[in-house]
Amino acid sequence: MFQAIMKTGRRFAQADMADLHQEVYKAAGSGTVDTAPRDFVFRDYDCSEGTGVILRTSKEVRPPQGWSVTRIVPFQPVRAPGEELDFNIRVNAIRNIPNPVFKGSKRLRGLKRSVYGLYIEGLKAQNPEHWPSREEILDQSVGDWFRGIAPTKGFEVSELYVENGPFFDFYKPDGSRVKFDVYDISGRLQVTNPEVFAETLTKGIGSKKAYGCGLLLVR
């Protein structure tokens, strides 16, 4: 496993996410989106040279033409039970719910729904006299979702803060449309199962990992 920090030399806007997706596939040594499954996780970020990328991949890193490399190092996470770490992660928080119109193999058994959207729908159904603040809604929807899955990922959360990330709406090269929302979560965690936690660090958390979500950064 390798971890690489690279700069792309250009600024990828939200509408360019499909292009960045293709470039990261090449950098991760996975060929192209059409020829190989994804076996990496990454996070993009803004920097003075445009868009930066933090990448974890099981294959040799191959920076695309025009990219510059800040650092490439072997990534072998070894953590002890009870170790406390600061963390940061960008997630697409979704929950699978039963599909009420499921009819055999022609329909999906479950629907992927935004955790935040489901929470808002619940509030509207309750029609409360006083709505929670935006911060409380984020904590009680996305925050509770993250706290709930943490034990299955080898850790527990002691502190957690949720902020809105961007809403992505773009078209893939085949013309299909991709839309999803993301949230930036930071805080402090405690490792409970080092082996499972190491797998989480290499495989990520949640969905839309191919578009920069799910990479857990710790220190």
For the chain, what are the domain ranges?
2-74, 84-218
- Beta partners for residue 74, in sequence order: 2
Distance CA(133)–CA(154), nearest Å, equals: 31
Mean pLDDT, to the nearest integer, of 135-148? Answer: 95
**In CATH, what number does 84-218 get?**
3.30.70.1210
Is the Cβ–Cβ distance between 154 and 218 less than 8 Å? Answer: no
pLDDT for 213 beyond 90: yes
**Which string of b and e fits 91-116 if b means at least 16 CB within 10 Å?**
bbbbbeeeeeeeeeeeeeeeeeebbb
Mean pLDDT, to the nearest integer, of 68-76? Answer: 94
pTM above 0.85, yes or no: yes
**Which string of b and e fits 120-159 if b means at least 16 CB within 10 Å?**
eeeeeeeeeeeeeeeeebbbbbbbbbbeeebeebbbebee
pLDDT at 109: 45
Length of the chain: 219
pLDDT at 111: 59
Mean pLDDT, to the nearest integer, of 65-89? Answer: 94
Please give the helix or strand (H or E) that residue 55 lies within, else none: strand 50-57
pLDDT at 30: 65
| Nearest-10 Cα torsion for 132, 113, 187, 40 | -160
The alpha helices in the chain, defined as continuous H runs, are 17-27, 115-126, 134-138, 144-149, 194-203
Tokens of 39: 């076996």
Q: Does domain 2-74 have CATH number 1.10.490.10?
A: no
